[in-house]
Every structure is written in C-alpha cells, then in structure tokens.
Amino acid sequence: MTRTNKALQLCVLASGLVAGQASQAYDLPVVNLGLTTFLDGGLPAGPGWYIQQYFQDYRADHLKDQRGDDLPLPRQDLHYQVAVTQLSYLSDLRLGNASLGLNAVLPVVTRMDLDDGLNNAALKAQDGVGDLLVGPFIQFDPIMGPDGPRFVHRIELQVNLPTGKYDEDQAINPGANAWSFNPYWAATYWFTPKWSASLRAHYLYNGKNEDPNYSYGGADDLQAGQAVHANFATEYAVTPQLRLGINGYWLNQFTDTRIDGHEVSGRRERVWAIGPGAMYSFSQEDHLVVNAYVEQDVENRPEGSRVQVRYVHHF
C-alpha cells in the first residue's frame, strides 16, 4: 500500500469513528462532566442573582474506539480551553417547601488545537460560542439537624438549545446543531457539620441534527443516543474557609445513535474520571473552586485529563 493510500484509508476510518458535536464527544453533545462538585445541592446564599464563571483546560492524547483502543491515527493530540458563564436566579416564589429559580449557561471554546498526524485531513475542528443551556429549577429548603443542615436538594429541567457555532465541514464543533433535554437532580448530605457528599445525576435525550457533518457520509440526519451521567464529590472543611476533597464524573450512553432513522451499533460512549478538588470561601457570597480529573475506561471518546477553576458570586 502506498503512503498516500494508507493515509487516505486512515482518514476514512477515523472520520467514520470520530464524528462530533463539541470538543469532547463523538456523537453526544457537550454535557456537564465535572463542572459542578462540592455542596452542589443548594445555592450558598439564599434568594437572588448568582454568576458563576468557569475556566477549563482539557488535554487528551488518546482517541478511543468502541473497544477502548486507540484510533488508527498517526497522532491523537487534542487540547482545548473553554470559558463557561452561568447566570442563576433564585426567586422568592414558593412552591410548598421550595423556591423557584432559573439557570442560563453559555460556553465559549476559546482555544481548540487538534493534531491527527495527517495535517488534519481526517479531523477538522473549530472554536467559538457553544450552545445555550436554560433550565427552570426547584430548590428545596434544607433539612436541618441540631448542628446545621443535614440534606438539601434541587431539581432542574434543563434544555440545550442549538444556538452554537456549527459547520458541517468540521468534525468537532462548539455547537451540536440539535436540541437536547438534560434534566438533573442534585443533592448534598452532611455526615457531620464539616464533612459532606454531593451528587448530581442527569438524564440526556437528544433531538435530531438535520445537517450532520461530512464524516457521516452524506446522511440526512443524526440522532445521538440517550445517556445518563453524574458528578460526585465529597469534601471536608479543614478550616471554616477551606474545604478539600475528591471529585469525579461518570457517563454511560445506553441507546444507539440513529443515522437516517437506523440504529448504528458500536458508537455508545462511556467514561469515568476522578481527581482532587478544593474550595475556598471568601465569604458567603464569594467562593473559589478548583478541580482536576483523570479519565478512565473510555469508549468512543477522547481520553485525557482536565483542570477547572470556578468562581461563584452572589449579588
């Protein structure tokens, strides 16, 4: 086989496996993997406006197939940076023992570097503004114990809107070009006043992309499969201001992607990750959170590590 033909074969094979919306998945859209961690079940300062600013750096040098093996590419280097702005409002409107609120989240991929070893003949990518996420939520009042809160939780009906940058000639885009429904339940439990654990569990249902990118071979539409994913964390208050702990995330796609209405096997995505985290509270209104993750047991996704910084401010 000539070098040119071999490179062409690699391009065809890789583009058939690596077809993506967003910088971290092949078929699934971008979802919350590790963005939220400590004390996730409640907002820290009661009703009012909140702004949260996230900065994330992700690096991967493995692009995995359905068996967890590397794709047959000369290089598999992916490095991107994303800034995410979240605006939240917790109102005084009451529904029984809960308050009503609204979240809006906008990611922006500020840097996208991808090297497939073929001068990006197999994989093309772009940065830019991602899809807008909006969701009404119900924040339940905390259940109190003798020494402070024992349990608090929230339900949000989050919808991802296809407003982000998308180009069918790019394999990796900031926008998914399809809506998705991504509701979640978030909860925090205090074992002691200083030690707590949090969980956020999502369900993901995806609409159709009516303009799939080039790697789907001219298909008329693509519908990514359904998935569940979760963030988990536990932390200990070393001082009244500083908390240290462990955080992680998990994702499992449990139905097949549909291309032109037909289920296609071998494309389901899986990943889990774990790492250290820290949270420093300057006051009840201002908090800084730093998290790191190393991904494990990946299928049909990049496998790498991420570092994230988040700042929370209550007006």
The answer, yes or no, to whether residue 12 has pLDDT greater than 50, is no
Rounded to an integer, the average pLDDT of 195-201 is: 98
| Amino acid at the residue 60 | A
Domain coordinates of the chain in residue numbers? 3-314
Rounded to an integer, the average pLDDT of 23-30 is: 72
Do residues 154 and 49 make contact, with C-beta atoms less than 8 angstroms apart? no
Length of the chain: 315
The answer, yes or no, to whether residue 1 has pLDDT greater than 80, is no
**Residue ranges with strand state E in the chain:** 48-63, 77-94, 98-115, 128-129, 132-140, 143-145, 148-156, 159-161, 180-181, 184-190, 195-206, 208-209, 222-223, 227-237, 242-253, 257-259, 262-264, 270-281, 286-299, 302-314
The answer, yes or no, to whether residue 217 has pLDDT greater than 70, is yes
Residue 148 class from Cβ within 10 Å (0-12 exposed, 13-18 middle, 19+ buried)?
exposed
- Residue-wise pLDDT for 225-250, tens only, equals 999 999 999 999 999 999 999 999 99
Cα angle 87-303-243, degrees, rounded to a multiple of 5:
50
Which of 4-8, 230-234, 243-247, 280-284 shows the lowest per-residue confidence on average (mean pLDDT)? Answer: 4-8
CATH number of this structure's domain 3-314, picked from the four choices 2.30.29.30, 2.40.160.40, 3.90.1150.10, 1.10.3720.10 = 2.40.160.40
The answer, yes or no, to whether residue 23 has pLDDT greater than 60, is no
Distance CA 149, CA 141 (A): 10
Rounded to an integer, the average pLDDT of 54-78 is: 93
The answer, yes or no, to whether residue 4 has pLDDT greater than 50, is no
* Closest C-alpha to 208, from 138, 154, 155, 261: 261
pLDDT band at 122 (very low <50, low <70, confident <90, very high): confident
**Of 237 and 74, more confident:** 237
Rounded to an integer, the average pLDDT of 262-276 is: 96
Q: Would you tell me how many other CB atoms lie within 10 Å of the CB of residue 8?
A: 15
Rounded to an integer, the average pLDDT of 250-259 is: 97
Q: How high is the pLDDT of residue 15? A: 37
Cα angle 22-26-31, degrees, rounded to a multiple of 5:
50
Rounded to an integer, the average pLDDT of 89-97 is: 96
pTM for this prediction: 0.90
pLDDT band at 6 (very low <50, low <70, confident <90, very high): very low
